[in-house]
């Protein structure tokens, strides 16, 4: 058996260092952060990066997660007397970067907090006390002296509504917090080794930024106006310096592709209420897997009702996160506008936010159905703190909605081909396999026939997995799974079971005999053989991921039996 990737022990450490003239970083390193947010798929931990810029005045850019309270504050005090900090710049108010704002203000009550209008509003609820503030708009500047003139770039939705970037004209560093980040924890402060980080960089983009592709393009445009950017100091993972152009170029390319999608869906959430935003994000992530663009809209944010009307009119579907009952009056104009702008045949889905005071979903759904909309998934109910299973359910619900709104196009594409080339391609045959995977609390399975041995040394296989498959999220680099081989003459029952359309979050293994492999994934007892595999890399193959994996264990139950083979007629669909 080949040794598996070693996992680091759980630990929290701090790294500090000078990244440019008069500019320090404090990186809170969370080596083994639990995977409870959808974007933590690659399980390489994360970092929360904070920065100190010293001109004649001093600014602290972002803080850290509250789990670093003692470590971060001790480190900060070792570097600077907190009362010497003049400004605390808030890139956005999510708790992994703003979790210690209150503590810092207690240490140094004279600090002026700098943020976008929305950020300062959110902070008022977080800090519960008065504090000096400076609300900034796009293009506003703050001169710290010694040449450190800071310029603010408002970048809403990257990935919170209140996000802004900060550009230091002296060092040419752009502080972007979540944008251009990745969940990757290592001792490297910078991005010198592109190969080791690119999978995490892309996965993070797909989860957090792809649903906001249009906002990414707007932010890139604003960045172009800043002049030369020498470094991007992100809030998560290594800072971009060695591969800055390459990696920002990838954001541009991916976002252009995403924004060009023919079909889009509006996903409405309520910021700062229950789990509305992360649930919306999980649904959005599932939708984008189908090649459909998403517009994530905060129902609490400043909304132009005319723009909202146009947006709803052009969307193929909408998803609504329920607002709190207590606030329904404020949200009502937006909800009425949505209801007044929808049209027949649009897809609709609703979800609770789990904030403890959610409006009921049933009346809203009924209104939409009465207007002729098609319900894409059952209303998502949130009874307790969402965990992996709930986020996965949301992602799968989003994928169902995406598939529904592209169904006609998929059928048309299928019919438009069928020429000689397709028939020739159909003569490529493959075996029949079931891939099974378990990661944390979630498990999944899919029938596969595009499987091939790909290397001897190491023993490796390639599998093509459609991008909108639920199991795709469990087949990220470093994930482990089982490849079950079906037996000729004895595969119909298993094939039929796994070809079924499962509801979001449904248990794929109900009624199927399994036993756990060493890697935790289910082995199908009735399979002819199985192999335990670990994903090494993924290549973009258009509408599929080509997943290359090493194989490190396996058994055959009937040495003389043959593998089931799948013969097709055409090669333009399964
Ligand atoms: Fe890394 Fe949006 O917080």
Of 532, 399, 512, nearest to 460 by C-alpha is 532
497 close to ligand 1 (CB < 6 Angstrom): no
Distance (Å) from CA 64 to ligand 1 centroid: 10
295 close to ligand 1 (CB < 6 Angstrom): no
Distance (Å) from CA 111 to ligand 1 centroid: 23
Q: Give 470's contacts (C-beta < 8 A, 6+ positions apart).
A: 392, 395, 396, 399, 444, 446, 502
pLDDT at 38 (0 to 100): 61
Low-confidence ranges of the chain (pLDDT < 50): 1-9
Nearest atom of ligand 1 to the alpha carbon of 181: 1
Helix, strand, coil abundance in the chain, percent, nearest 5: 30, 30, 40
Is the bond into 140 cis (omega within 30 degrees of 0)?
A: no
Is the bond into 429 cis (omega within 30 degrees of 0)?
A: no
Alpha-carbon distances, residue 399 vs 233, 239, 283, 466, 504 (angstroms): 33, 33, 8, 12, 9
Retrieve residue 467's tokens. Answer: 């991008």
Tokens 């190969």 correspond to: 195
Element (H, E) at 454: strand 451-455
538 close to ligand 1 (CB < 6 Angstrom): no
Distance (Å) from CA 166 to ligand 1 centroid: 16
Atom 2 (ligand 1): residue with closest C-alpha?
94
Query: Angle 529-532-538 (CA atoms, 0-180°, nearest 5)?
Result: 120
Helix (H, G, I), strand (E, B) or coil at 464: strand
Alpha-carbon distances, residue 340 vs 337, 366, 402, 484 (angstroms): 5, 14, 23, 50
266: number of CA atoms within 13 Å, CB side? 22
Domains detected in the chain: 2-258 (3.60.15.10), 261-410 (3.40.50.360), 419-566 (2.30.110.10)
Atom 1 (ligand 1): residue with closest C-alpha?
178
Q: Is 2 exposed, middle or buried (0-12, 13-18, 19+ CB in 10 A)?
A: exposed
Distance (Å) from CA 563 to ligand 1 centroid: 47
Atom 3 (ligand 1): residue with closest C-alpha?
94
97 close to ligand 1 (CB < 6 Angstrom): yes
Distance (Å) from CA 94 to ligand 1 centroid: 5
151 close to ligand 1 (CB < 6 Angstrom): no
159 close to ligand 1 (CB < 6 Angstrom): yes
355 close to ligand 1 (CB < 6 Angstrom): no
Return phi, psi of residue 429, to 5°: -105, 165
Nearest atom of ligand 1 to the alpha carbon of 95: 3
CA atoms of 289 and 336, how far apart (whole Å): 30
39 close to ligand 1 (CB < 6 Angstrom): no
321 close to ligand 1 (CB < 6 Angstrom): no
Alpha-carbon distances, residue 133 vs 70, 89, 112, 117, 235 (angstroms): 25, 10, 5, 10, 22
Cα of 397 vs its chain's centroid, Å = 15
3-class DSSP string for 49-115: EEEEEECCCEEEECCCCHHHHHHHHHHHHHHCCHHHCCEEECCCCCHHHHCCHHHHHHHCCCCEEEE
pLDDT at 418 (0 to 100): 61
CA atoms of 379 and 397, how far apart (whole Å): 10
Beta carbons of 292 and 263 less than 8 angstroms apart: yes
Alpha-carbon distances, residue 558 vs 397, 521, 530, 562 (angstroms): 39, 21, 11, 9
Return phi, psi of residue 279, to 5°: -70, -40
Tens of pLDDT along 171-215? Answer: 999 999 999 999 999 999 999 999 999 989 998 998 889 888 889
37 close to ligand 1 (CB < 6 Angstrom): no
CA atoms of 73 and 202, how far apart (whole Å): 32
162 close to ligand 1 (CB < 6 Angstrom): no
469 close to ligand 1 (CB < 6 Angstrom): no
Distance (Å) from CA 95 to ligand 1 centroid: 7
Tell whether the torsion through CA atoms of 358, 115, 65 and 279 is positive or negative: positive
**pTM for the structure as a whole:** 0.82
Tens of pLDDT along 87-103? Answer: 999 999 988 999 999 99
Distance (Å) from CA 178 to ligand 1 centroid: 5
pLDDT at 11 (0 to 100): 87
Distance (Å) from CA 98 to ligand 1 centroid: 9
10 Å Cβ neighbour count for 494?
A: 22
Of 436, 430, 394, 447, nearest to 521 by C-alpha is 436
CA atoms of 78 and 72, how far apart (whole Å): 10
Beta strand ranges found along 467-543 (DSSP E):
480-485, 514-516, 522-524, 529-541
* DSSP tally for the chain: helices H, then strands E: 15, 28
Distance (Å) from CA 62 to ligand 1 centroid: 11
């Amino acid at each position: 058996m080949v040794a598996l990737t070693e996992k680091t022990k759980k630990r929290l450490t701090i790294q500090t260092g000078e990244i440019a003239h008069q500019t320090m970083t404090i990186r809170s390193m969370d080596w083994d952060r639990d995977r409870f947010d959808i974007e933590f798929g690659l399980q390489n931990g994360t970092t929360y990066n904070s920065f100190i810029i010293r001109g004649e005045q001093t600014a602290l850019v972002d803080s850290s997660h509250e789990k670093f309270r003692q470590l971060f504050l001790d480190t900060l005090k070792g570097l600077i007397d907190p009362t010497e900090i003049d400004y605390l710049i808030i890139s956005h108010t999510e708790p992994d970067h703003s979790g210690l704002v209150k503590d810092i203000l207690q240490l140094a009550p004279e600090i002026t907090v700098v943020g976008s209008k929305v950020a300062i509003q959110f902070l008022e609820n977080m800090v519960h006390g008065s504090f000096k503030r400076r609300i900034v708009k796009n293009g506003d500047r703050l001169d710290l002296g010694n040449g450190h003139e800071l310029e603010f770039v408002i970048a809403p939705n990257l990935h919170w509504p209140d996000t802004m970037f900060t550009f230091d004209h002296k060092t040419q560093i752009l502080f972007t917090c979540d944008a251009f980040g990745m969940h990757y924890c290592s001792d490297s402060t910078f991005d010198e080794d592109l190969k080791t980080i690119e999978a995490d960089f892309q996965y993070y983009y797909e989860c957090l930024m792809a649903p906001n592709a249009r906002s990414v393009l707007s932010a890139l445009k604003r960045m172009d106006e800043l002049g030369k950017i020498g470094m991007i100091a992100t809030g998560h993972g290594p800072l971009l310096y060695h591969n800055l152009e390459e990696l920002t170029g990838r954001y541009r390319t991916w976002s252009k592709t995403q924004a060009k999608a023919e079909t889009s869906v509006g996903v409405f959430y309520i910021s700062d209420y229950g789990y509305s935003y992360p649930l919306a994000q999980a649904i959005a992530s599932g939708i984008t897997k189908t090649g459909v663009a998403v517009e994530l809209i905060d129902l609490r944010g400043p909304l132009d009702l005319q723009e909202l009307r146009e947006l709803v009119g052009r969307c193929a579907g909408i998803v609504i996160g329920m607002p709190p009952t207590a606030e329904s009056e404020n949200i009502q104009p937006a909800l009425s506008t949505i209801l007044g702008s929808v049209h027949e045949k649009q897809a609709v889905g609703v979800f609770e936010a789990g904030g403890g005071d959610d409006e009921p979903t049933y009346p809203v759904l009924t209104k939409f159905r009465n207007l002729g909309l098609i319900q894409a998934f059952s209303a998502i109910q949130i009874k307790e703190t969402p965990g992996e299973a709930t986020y996965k359910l949301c992602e799968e619900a989003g994928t169902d909605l995406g598939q529904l709104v592209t169904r006609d196009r998929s059928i048309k594409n299928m019919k438009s081909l069928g020429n000689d080339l397709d028939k020739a391609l159909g003569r490529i045959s493959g075996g029949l396999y079931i891939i099974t995977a378990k990661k944390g609390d979630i498990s999944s399975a899919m029938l596969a026939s595009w499987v091939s041995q790909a290397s001897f040394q190491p023993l490796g296989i390639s599998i093509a997995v459609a991008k909108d498959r639920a199991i795709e999220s469990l087949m990220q680099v470093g994930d482990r799974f089982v490849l079950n081989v079906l037996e000729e003459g004895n595969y119909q029952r298993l094939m039929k079971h796994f070809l079924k359309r499962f509801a979001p979050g449904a248990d794929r293994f109900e009624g199927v005999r399994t036993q756990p492999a060493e890697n935790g994934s289910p082995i199908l007892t009735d399979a002819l053989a199985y192999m335990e595999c670990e994903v090494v890399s993924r290549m973009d193959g258009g509408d599929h991921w080509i997943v290359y994996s090493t194989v490190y264990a396996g058994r055959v139950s009937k040495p003389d039996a043959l593998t089931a083979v799948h013969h097709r007629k055409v090669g333009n669909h399964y």
